[in-house]
Structure 1
Amino acid sequence: MTEMLESFTEMDPLAENGLLSGMSKEVLERNAKSETTAIRISNIANMVLLAAKVYASVKSGSLVIIASTLDSLLDLLSGFILWYTAFSMQKPNPYQYPIGKTRMQPVGILVFASVMATLSLQIILESVRSLLSHVNEKVFAMTKEQEEWIIGIMISVTIVRFFLVVYCRSFHNEIIKAYAKDHLFDVVSSMVGLVAALLANSINHWIDPVGAILLALYTIRTWSVTVFENVNSLVGRSAEPEYLQKLTYLCWNHHKAIKHIDTVRAYTFGSSYFVEVDIVLPADMLLREAHDIGEELQEKLEQLPDIERAFVHLDYEYTHKPEHAKALNV
């Protein structure tokens, strides 16, 4: 209940003044610059750390280190996808893409996840083949000097990644949160890879391919969750009831002439929501006044960071059947 009241309070400045609190131009520009810096730092770190892991893979010949390096490569690819989709969405083309390009981000993530799953399966197959043929028993063996190099590289990668996780989690931007998720996953894969490689070198060869299989399965499982989340965003899943209540509160307090709120819908459209609102105004109101009320409400709704597009329908009664009845048929 307290959270609900707080969310309603957040809507009061927007309902009364048409502006969100803290949404000044200077604040938005400063946030945009900070987010751009975070993305650049993450991309540069991905390239440098990938090079370090490639060297560790060549130096050790460990399958589990190779699997961890593959994850870093995929981090770099995912970073490129996230950067490209963000860049593309900032350059709208109203003629070729009249409803925007917000779906490019989840589509890009789905493509990336498919590539990741394919490469992870290849790692599993290679690890199983290694287990069955026992080739690792002869090939996989590191000298003391190689061990020291691998430990130094993997621990350094882990430390850098950990600081990047903390840094990226301080942002509210969804793309930077995705970077934070990638960095955290690389922390896990790097430590698992290092431990498995050292145990395989000192105890038994089979620990290396088994560690690679576990790491690949963890990769598939982690990104499967991301796939399902993005599929939901593409098929138009409804927003949570709490979010719809917040939108209803904003609509009701928008103008004193609103007599009734017939419909409030919000559904996913890529990474953002599309909103449909039906409000009831007096039947004898002038078209000019009614139009201004509806347009101002649309502008307020579209100021909310989660909303890509808002549609406001004006009516003079609410006893008719719902519009778009075809979408409501079971």
Structure 2
Amino acid sequence: MLLASGKQRKVSEYYKKQERLLEGYNEMEAMTESGCFPGKQTEDELKQLAKSERLAVNISNGANLLLFTAKVYASIGSKSLAVIASTLDSLLDLLSGFILWFTSYAMKKPNHYQQYPIGKKRMQPVGIIVFASIMATLGLQILLESGRQLIAKRGPEMNKGAGEMDDYHYGFFGLATAVLAVRYYWWIDPTGAIIIALYTINTWTRTVFKNVWSLIGRTAPPEFLAKLTYLIWNHHKEIKQIDTVRAYSFGNYYFVEVDIVLPGDMVLNRAYNIGEDLQEKLEQLPEVERAFVHIDFEFSHRPKHRSKV
């Protein structure tokens, strides 16, 4: 029964992948016919979207600030490790919002022609990595302190009035463990702090790995490469062969490298126009930051690019 269920799940996932692939082909077909990515937003729509995003960010930051203030009050009143861990998490949420705002602001000033010729879009993943490392380190510190208290079989000197904070209905896990520790067993508080710390470490460690992978040039998924190949092949009737299609992450977006084969007797200006039009078309894709189109007249040679060890 379980084996049959597993097979059905795999078959279902296969067909879902095929549906997504067909949807991608349809998008590329529409892009080939119209010359632009389907559903591309106008400048006014982009401005309205940016305005809505700023409003949402401001509301989120305001809510986080109120939440942080309430947790600071609870931490001072209870001296609970679990509440302190939850307060630290709220503080770091505020700091993460500031870091994302700062990196977004810096990315809007690319300074193309001086120190940063390809822009500053890598600032966001770098900022996230630094911040996530700090988060994981602080979570580890709380984990160690909670473990020390459990080993010593001695809880923190918690204020007995912490039990009254149940009336505030914050609904926080850290506050709940603090209240339970006061009313029942002292070890509930460091145990709750350990759970919060483990959650914090796990969440931000995964965030670090995700952003590191995006910076070290991880390849795009096969479905995306198939979409690119479909778009390239249907770009122009003079394209005889596709030698290479590469897409790799370099931050939040992909860099794309394409080698196409054109007739050897084609005049330079026509070959150049075909390559440039293809580059511009590829860079219209929302996942692509930059595209490099290399033109050749044969495909029997080895790739010219050699990695330096």
TM-score, structure 1 as length reference: 0.83
* Among candidates 76, 81, 84, match of residue 63 of structure 1: 81
Please identify which structure carries the higher helix content.
Answer: 1
Which runs of no fewer than 5 residues in structure 1 stay unpaired? 156-189
Contact 2:254 2:287 (C-alpha < 8 Å) held by counterparts: yes
What CA RMSD, in Å, does the superposition of the two structures yield over aligned residues?
A: 1.8
- C-alpha offsets along residues 148-196 of structure 1, whole Å, 9 cap, x if unaligned? 23xx2x23xxxxxxxxxxxxxxxxxxxxxxxxxxxxxxxxxx3x21331
TM-aligned CA distance change 1:143 to 1:225, over 3 Å? closer
TM-aligned CA distance change 1:211 to 1:143, over 3 Å? closer
TM-aligned CA distance change 1:24 to 1:231, over 3 Å? closer
SS of residue in 1 equivalent to 2:291: strand
Of structures 1 and 2, the one with the larger relative CO (CA 8 A, separation 6+) is 1
> Who is 1:34 aligned against?
52
TM-aligned CA distance change 1:255 to 1:29, over 3 Å? farther
Distance 1:202 1:229 in 2: 41
TM-aligned CA distance change 1:304 to 1:65, over 3 Å? same
- C-alpha offsets along residues 250-281 of structure 1, whole Å, 9 cap, x if unaligned? 11111111111111100010111111011111
| Residues matched between the structures, number | 290
Q: Percent identity?
A: 59
* Among candidates 263, 266, 285, match of residue 247 of structure 2: 266
Contact 1:140 1:205 (C-alpha < 8 Å) held by counterparts: no
CA-CA distance at 1:145 after TM superposition: 3.4
> Who is 2:92 aligned against?
74
SS of residue in 2 equivalent to 1:314: strand
> Who is 1:115 aligned against?
134
Which runs of no fewer than 5 residues in structure 2 stay unpaired? 1-17
Contact 2:82 2:190 (C-alpha < 8 Å) held by counterparts: yes
Within-5 A mapping of 1:140-289 = 140-142=159-161, 145-149=164-168, 152=169, 154-155=170-171, 190=172, 192-289=173-270
* Among candidates 17, 23, 31, match of residue 6 of structure 1: 23
Q: Which amino acid aligns with 2:142?
A: I
SS of residue in 2 equivalent to 1:40: helix
Distance 1:10 1:40 in 2: 35
SS of residue in 2 equivalent to 1:24: coil
TM-aligned CA distance change 1:265 to 1:143, over 3 Å? closer
Distance 1:65 1:143 in 2: 11
CA-CA distance at 1:92 after TM superposition: 0.6
Q: Which amino acid aligns with 1:42?
A: S
CA-CA distance at 1:147 after TM superposition: 3.0
Distance 1:137 1:302 in 2: 57
CA-CA distance at 1:242 after TM superposition: 0.7
Distance 1:55 1:138 in 2: 16
Distance 1:108 1:65 in 2: 27
